[in-house]
């Protein structure tokens, strides 16, 4: 039970970090004038 709770918490924090990282990469690319698409897949 405790292990599942820890895994769920780490999954949530990982997803928050991935979303933040994706947004910051897109902002940096917009500043540089690059028009590239980022595809980030989430594994289960």
Say if residues 13 and 35 touch (Cβ distance below 8 Å): no
Question: What is the average pLDDT across 13-21?
Answer: 90
pLDDT recorded at residue 40: 63
Whether 38 has a pLDDT exceeding 70, the answer reads no
Number of domains observed in the structure of the chain: 1
- Determine how many CB atoms are found less than 10 A away from the CB of residue 37: 6
What pTM value is reported for the model?
A: 0.49
Quote the DSSP letter at residue 33: T
pLDDT recorded at residue 27: 80
Question: Chain centroid to CA 35: how far?
Answer: 19
Rounded Cα–Cα distance for residues 33 and 20 (Å): 20
pLDDT recorded at residue 34: 56
Q: Which domain holds residue 26?
A: 1-44
**Token pair recorded at residue 14:** 């990982």
């Amino acid at each position: 039970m405790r292990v599942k709770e820890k895994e769920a918490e780490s999954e949530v924090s990982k997803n928050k970090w991935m979303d933040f990282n994706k947004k910051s990469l897109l902002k940096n690319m917009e500043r540089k004038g690059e028009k590239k698409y980022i595809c980030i897949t989430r594994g289960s």
